[in-house]
Amino acid sequence: MNCPVCKEPMIVLELDQVEIDHCLSCKGIWLDAGELELLLKDADSGKAFLTAFKSAGPVAEKQRRCPICRKKMEKVNFAGDPPVLIDRCRREHGLWFDEGELNRIILPASGERGSVAGLLKDMFGKNIDGEIRNSPENTE
């Protein structure tokens, strides 16, 4: 698979026994839907994780193309303060993280390193809790 930024072939990294694609030139990381499912240990969480992000609207950052379907990806905000701008394939093939973006998301402020799966799960849980609390159906 080629990097959506530099178009060079990416290498495969193993993280918690899940293979993820990494570009050595720009240090970006591609997580596809199947890899997310494996990291989160179930298909529903993987799918929900992919669709949990909100579109960032028009931004200055250059658009990238999905390495799987070659369509332009959408810029979305990953929860955080400040939010991290990442690229998501509109067909839910996966997520693209520029250098450092995944670290900003998965490394707690303390800098202590936990498992990627655990941290993604934490993030995912918070994200979804927030969504549920904020939806009108649940404000009784």
Question: Helix H segments across 86-137?
Answer: 101-106, 116-134
**Shortest CB 16 distance to Zn ion, Å:** 23
CA distance 36 to 24: 21
Nearest approach in angstroms of CB 65 to Zn ion is: 8
Relative orientation angle of helices 33-40 and 116-134, to the nearest 10 degrees: 100
Residue 120 Cβ vs Zn ion, minimum distance, rounded to whole Å: 20
Nearer CB in complex with Zn ion: 25/51: 25
What per-residue string of b and e applies to 96-134 under the rule 16 or more CB within 10 Å gives b? bbbeebbeebbeeeeeeeeebbebbbebbeebeeeeeee
**Chain residues that interact with Zn ion, rule: CB under 5 A:** 3, 5-6, 23, 25-26, 66, 68-69, 89, 91, 93
CB-wise, 56 or 128, nearer to Zn ion? 56
Of 3 and 84, the one with the shorter C-beta distance to Zn ion is 3
Angular region, 85: left φ>0, alpha ψ -120 to 50, beta rest? beta
Query: Closest CB to Zn ion among 3 and 36?
Result: 3
Closest approach of Cβ 67 to Zn ion, in Å? 8
